């Protein structure tokens, strides 16, 4: 079975869907998204404004993504560490640009133990300041470098508008912080971080991304520059999927970090940081989901195969149970691209239709239906979630065939998303053309820009679009800026975004 043979047709016909109480994407995309997240029991609202409760199904997805990225991070030489949740105000203020960028979103602890604190404490918006403060005690010589730290923690940014997973006041993330003797080593580290994110998105989540550099207006506060990966959602909006920042010597100078180099001269180390968050669980919903709920990439899916027994009598149940037990044993040692095959058998006292709906909503890649007649013929019915394709399959062939089927499914979800992005990426050469395409078709627009911050702001004010990045693969192409007509060296990527 070759990947090219899989052609997925989305399940949109209301009459044929098991799941029918979800707002259709075409009718209300944000409403559809919230319905899917809540009804699949991925997450729920918290009593605390802007925060969410991540339920077991959603957390299992985060664990899968976290573990995959953690393997990459450790493989590239980084160590996991932990730093406090609270950052003294004086530390945060040492790097003026950093504070200016984050100040509107910082939550402060001003009282504790019934008394006003002598110094306010920021609830971690990110960890650069507090890490730099300690690293100055740990780094004295070039022999102490590089330091390659990684953190798995939570942060708080006081968002005005929140949406489950995509933008919440508190969220879970990974943040790496590194220190290097030379600028080139730091630049290489920026690339290492971005490649980890690209791989996590494309290889694990089946979400294609565009790599590029943020403009100075969009870069991380306090950074020399920021590299990013950008993804297209099913409503054609962009989502920033991960960023990797060159901090230069900014934080090191602010914190007073110095080391003796090979020539015995005092230098400030070069720093980087990179971050990846739970918003990517929301991205999986928005890239792959359909009107029946989630469509899970097999590598990420908490359950890759669900077995639904079908029986009417106790004798039928016994026969089916024996067959399923045999199937489970045959699948016990099956390995897939993401580890041991993840299988569930649904023995709940519910109708088969109820179970089909339950697992279809949750996006389980394959469902195996086994009834007495199937047992008699030594087969079952294998149903593919993404397009409801049904095929009889010999029960003895499952162990051999499932890994390849799951790999093809994963590849085809990625290709489907890539084709969708390609179909909805447009070139625009004039401002009128740009506005027309954006309002009529939406999607990604590649257009010339002179590099002016004022022109960048004007586009956003007029259209709501921002420059998502200057793509790495954008070739030299002389043109005229959309806004002021001044020379442009290449096209940049514009889009409306989350």
CATH topology of domain 305-420: Rossmann fold (3.40.50)
Residue range 23-288 forms a domain whose CATH class is alpha beta
The 3-state secondary structure of 374-438, one letter per residue: HHHHCEEEEEECCCCEEEEEEHHHHHHHHHHHHHHHHHHHHHHHHHHHHHCEEECCCHHHHHHHH
Strand, helix or coil at 236? coil
- Domain range list for the chain: 23-288, 305-420, 426-495
pLDDT at 265 over 60: yes
Strand, helix or coil at 135? helix
DSSP character at residue 163:
B
Q: Dihedral of CA 100/51/194/466: which sign?
A: negative
**Please, what is the average pLDDT of the chain?**
94
Task: Tell me the C-alpha distance between 302 and 63, whole Å.
Answer: 9
Residue 160, pLDDT score: 85
Phi, psi at 101, each rounded to 5°:
-70, -35
Task: Tell me the C-alpha distance between 196 and 69, whole Å.
Answer: 7
How much is the average pLDDT of 193-198?
A: 98
Number of H helices and E strands in the chain, helices first, is: 14, 27
> When comparing pLDDT for 21 and 372, which is higher?
372
Q: Per-residue pLDDT tens for 71-113?
A: 999 999 999 999 999 999 999 888 766 667 667 889 999 999 9
Q: Per-residue pLDDT tens for 442-451?
A: 999 999 999 9
What stretch of H or E contains 279? helix 279-288
pLDDT at 11 over 90: no
Q: Which residues contact 396 (CB under 8 A, 6 or more apart)?
A: 330, 378
Q: In this prediction, what percent of the chain has a pLDDT beyond 70?
A: 95
Q: Is 51 exposed, middle or buried (0-12, 13-18, 19+ CB in 10 A)?
A: middle
Residue 6, pLDDT score: 56
Q: Do domains 23-288 and 305-420 have the same CATH topology?
A: no
What stretch of H or E contains 288? helix 279-288
pLDDT at 209 over 90: yes
Which architecture, in CATH terms, is 426-495?
Answer: 2-Layer Sandwich (3.30)
Q: How confident is the model at residue 17 (pLDDT cuts 50, 70, 90)?
A: low
């Amino acid at each position: 079975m070759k990947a090219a043979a899989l052609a997925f047709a989305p399940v949109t016909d209301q009459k044929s869907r098991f799941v029918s109480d979800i707002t259709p994407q075409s009718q209300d995309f944000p409403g559809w998204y919230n319905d899917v997240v809540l009804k699949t029991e991925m997450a729920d609202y918290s009593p605390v404004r802007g925060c969410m409760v991540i339920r077991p199904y959603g957390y299992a997805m985060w664990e899968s993504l976290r573990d995959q990225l953690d393997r990459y991070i450790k493989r590239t030489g980084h160590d996991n560490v932990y730093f406090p949740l609270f950052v003294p105000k004086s530390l945060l203020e040492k790097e003026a640009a950093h504070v200016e960028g984050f100040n509107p979103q910082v939550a402060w602890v001003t009282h504790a133990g019934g008394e006003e604190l002598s110094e306010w404490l920021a609830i971690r918006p990110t960890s650069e300041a507090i890490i730099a403060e300690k690293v100055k005690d740990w780094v004295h010589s070039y022999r102490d470098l590089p330091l390659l730290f990684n953190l798995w923690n939570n942060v708080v940014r006081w968002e005005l508008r929140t949406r489950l997973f995509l933008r919440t006041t508190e969220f879970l993330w990974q943040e790496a912080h590194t220190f290097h003797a030379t600028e080139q080593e730091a630049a290489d580290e920026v690339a290492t971080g971005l490649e980890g994110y690209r791989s996590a998105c494309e290889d694990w989540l089946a979400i294609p991304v565009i790599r590029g550099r943020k403009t100075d207006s969009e870069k991380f506060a306090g950074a020399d520059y920021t590299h990013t990966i950008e993804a297209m959602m099913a409503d054609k909006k962009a989502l920033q999927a991960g960023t990797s920042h060159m901090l230069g010597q900014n934080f090191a100078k602010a914190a007073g970090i110095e080391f003796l180099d090979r020539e015995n001269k005092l230098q400030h180390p070069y720093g980087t940081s990179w971050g990846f968050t739970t918003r990517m669980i929301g991205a999986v919903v928005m890239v792959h989901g359909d009107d029946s709920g989630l469509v899970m990439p097999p590598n990420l899916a908490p359950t890759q195969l669900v077995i639904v027994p079908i029986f009417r009598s106790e004798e039928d149940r016994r026969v089916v149970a024996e067959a399923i037990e045999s199937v489970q044993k045959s699948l016990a040692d099956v390995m897939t691209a993401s580890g041991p095959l993840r299988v569930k058998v649904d023995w709940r006292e519910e109708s088969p239709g109820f179970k089909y709906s339950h697992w279809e909503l949750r996006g389980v890649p394959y469902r195996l239906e086994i009834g007495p007649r199937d047992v008699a013929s030594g087969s079952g019915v294998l149903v593919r979630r993404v397009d409801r394709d049904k095929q009889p399959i010999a029960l003895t062939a499952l162990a051999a065939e499932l890994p390849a089927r799951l790999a093809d499914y994963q590849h085809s979800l990625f290709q489907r998303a890539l084709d969708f992005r390609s179909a909805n990426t447009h070139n625009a050469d004039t401002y009128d053309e740009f506005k027309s395409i954006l309002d009529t078709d939406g999607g990604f627009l590649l257009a010339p820009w002179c590099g002016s911050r004022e022109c960048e702001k004007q586009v956003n004010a007029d259209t709501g679009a921002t420059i998502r990045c200057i793509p790495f693969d954008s070739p030299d192409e002389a043109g005229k800026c959309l806004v002021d007509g001044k020379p442009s060296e290449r096209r940049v990527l514009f889009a409306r975004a989350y």
